[in-house]
Structure 1
């Protein structure tokens, strides 16, 4: 175990921004970090616990790290303390209209923005429960920025109305940005910033969880046992060990999924428009053509971005792609719904093509995302038709939904807001028109 102590010298104490940066640093460490102050302790990777310490100027923070990288961990934390924990210049407050608000959004964003003053995020957030759409865009009038999610809409009409109302920044609290007209934003002099990576582990782990639920028929098994039915009929699955896993899109999330599949004893093959030779060199996967992956894989997991137009990834999995797959293949999508042609998928499911399909996202999901429709009949919607198949599992766009991911989304989003407000480069977070 390595330890060190730090006396808080910032007049504002340990406010939200340094606490957030410390938590995000610790999330990526192998060592367990504990922070103690005035008899109270906090896990170093939990921003809410760090803030609950209430550390003021003159208080002593006792930090310990225990694990494989404890020495490097303490060194990185000391560097952070001597940089971001010190007093900063004061800037004007950025007014943000926050659309599609849920209770869990407030948990983190409200804590991060409650402080105002030098070195803080200096943001005032107005929460709206409605999504951003052409009908609700007028609510952002008079705000400097809007904060939106995957199911909000920012086509040209909305972007132009935002600009007319004074908005200069669109903050995406997600990685995807296909719901924003970037060319319109450029023309309107509106910056667009996203969260390039929050918790790739969260998404990859969920993808494996739901494909295993579909493979081993866990939902059906649970319901049978609840009815005191202990028969195994209808529950037959397959081993993943010694099977071939095809990963389409080998960015951070795809890499995480590949490592999970490797842990199951699978042979991993990958397809990507921009192959990463380092993954080949370490022995994680072998790159193949799209057609070869479709033909060889027993399990296919989608992790590509949604790119429209010629040569893009829209309907990456269509009727032709499905026809090239093995019979009884398994397919999971935790990336973007329109990567799969829903009509082609349904037709293939009717023909018994798949052993198991698991979808956290799917074409036609927009009206359902984060909405309680339990009192409604879905009639002939894509959702209702997909739910007919006993070998298919649907979840509601929740792959990202872990404490670590929500914390990271809030922190990176507010860092983007701060960088914009202070005139700093948005770096990899900025989304630009081609």
Structure 2
């Protein structure tokens, strides 16, 4: 075990920003990090617990690091603790209109913007329950920035209205930006910043979880047992061991999924517009053509971005590509809904194609996502028809939804806001037309 002693020298103590950066640092290591202040203890990867310590200037913290990578972790943490935060002079407080707010958003974001002044995120947030769209864009009047999510609408008319309201920045608290008209934003001088990555593990783990739910019919088994029906009829699944997994899109999330599949004892094939030779050299996967992957894979997991136009990924899974697949194939999508043509999928399901289908996203989900419709009839035709099939599992765009991911989204979003406000480099967070 490694131990670090640190005397807090920040005038504001361990306020939101250093706490956030420390938590994000600790998330990257296998070692357990515990931070002690007197009788109080916080997990190093939990920003809320670190803030709850209430460490003030002059307090002494003891950081215990225990695990396989403790040496590397200790070095990184010590560099962060003792590194000089070279702050610019305070700038005006950035006023942010936060759309589509849920209680879990407030949990992290509210803590991060408590402090004002030098060295802080120096922002004020106004939360709106409504999503951003043509009818609600006027709520941004008088704000410098808007913060939106995957189901908000930042089309050209909305961007025009935001410009009229004086908005200079669109903060996406997600990786995807297909819901933003980047050309319109460019024309009106509005900067668009996203969260390039938060927790690829969260998404990949959810993909395997719902895939196995569909494969082993766990959703049906749960309901049957609740009804005191212990018969096994209708619950037959397939072994994943010794099967072939096809990973379409081998970025960070696709790589995580490939490792999970490898752990199940599967042979992993990859398809990507930009193959990563390092993954081949590592022995993780073998790159093949799209057609070969579709023909050979027993499990197909989609992790590619949504790209419109010729040679894009819009409706990548369609009648023709489904026809290439095995009849017993398992398909999971935690990427973007429109990558699958839902009509083609439903036609194939009606014909007995697919042993299992697991969708966290699907085309036509927008009006359902993050809403409670338990007391109303589902009028969305795609949703209703997908729910007919016993081998299909739907979840509500929740693959990202872990504490670690929410923490990372909040921290990176506020770092983006701070960098914009202070005129710092924006890096790969900036989305350009």
TM-score scaled by length of structure 1: 0.98
Worse-matched range after superposition: 257-266 or 88-97: 88-97
1:23 equivalent to 2:23? Answer yes
How does 1:253-402 map onto structure 2 within 5 Å? 253-379=253-379, 381-402=381-402
Matched-pair contact (CA < 8 Å) for 2:30–2:69? yes
> How big is each residue's C-alpha offset from its partner over 1:217-237, in whole Å with a ceiling of 9 and x where there is no partner?
001111111111111100000
Q: CA deviation at 1:91?
A: 2.1
Q: CA deviation at 1:84?
A: 5.7
Q: CA deviation at 1:192?
A: 0.5
Measure the CA separation in 2 of the matches of 1:143 and 1:380. 35
> How big is each residue's C-alpha offset from its partner over 1:193-237, in whole Å with a ceiling of 9 and x where there is no partner?
100100000000000000100000001111111111111100000
In the other structure, the counterpart of 1:422 is 422
Q: CA deviation at 1:379?
A: 3.9
SS where residue 61 of structure 1 aligns?
strand
Matched-pair contact (CA < 8 Å) for 1:93–1:123? yes
> How big is each residue's C-alpha offset from its partner over 1:217-269, in whole Å with a ceiling of 9 and x where there is no partner?
00111111111111110000000000000000000000000000000000000
How does 1:30-429 map onto structure 2 within 5 Å? 30-83=30-83, 89-379=89-379, 381-429=381-429
> How big is each residue's C-alpha offset from its partner over 1:274-333, in whole Å with a ceiling of 9 and x where there is no partner?
110100000000001111110000000000000111111100101100001011110000
> How big is each residue's C-alpha offset from its partner over 1:376-417, in whole Å with a ceiling of 9 and x where there is no partner?
111461000000000000000000000000000000000000
Matched-pair contact (CA < 8 Å) for 1:101–1:127? yes
Matched-pair contact (CA < 8 Å) for 2:342–2:363? yes
Q: CA deviation at 1:38?
A: 2.5
Matched-pair contact (CA < 8 Å) for 1:10–1:85? no
Q: CA deviation at 1:375?
A: 1.3
> How big is each residue's C-alpha offset from its partner over 1:110-138, in whole Å with a ceiling of 9 and x where there is no partner?
00111111100001000000000011001
TM-score scaled by length of structure 2: 0.99
Q: CA deviation at 1:9?
A: 0.9
User: Alpha carbon RMSD of aligned pairs, Å?
Assistant: 1.0
SS where residue 355 of structure 2 aligns?
strand
Measure the CA separation in 2 of the matches of 1:352 and 1:134. 42
Measure the CA separation in 1 of the matches of 2:60 and 2:87. 17
Measure the CA separation in 1 of the matches of 2:123 and 2:413. 11
Matched-pair contact (CA < 8 Å) for 2:301–2:333? yes
Q: CA deviation at 1:49?
A: 0.2
- Residue 61 to residue 306, structure 1, CA distance change in 2 (3 Å): same
Matched-pair contact (CA < 8 Å) for 2:2–2:71? yes
Matched-pair contact (CA < 8 Å) for 2:244–2:296? yes
Query: How many positions carry a matched residue from both structures?
Result: 433
Q: Mind listing any 5+ residue stretches in structure 2 that lack a counterpart?
A: none
> How big is each residue's C-alpha offset from its partner over 1:53-97, in whole Å with a ceiling of 9 and x where there is no partner?
000001011111111111121111111112266776322210000
SS where residue 354 of structure 1 aligns?
coil
SS where residue 138 of structure 1 aligns?
helix
Structure 1 segments, 4+ long, off by >3 Å, are 84-89
Measure the CA separation in 1 of the matches of 2:429 and 2:86. 25
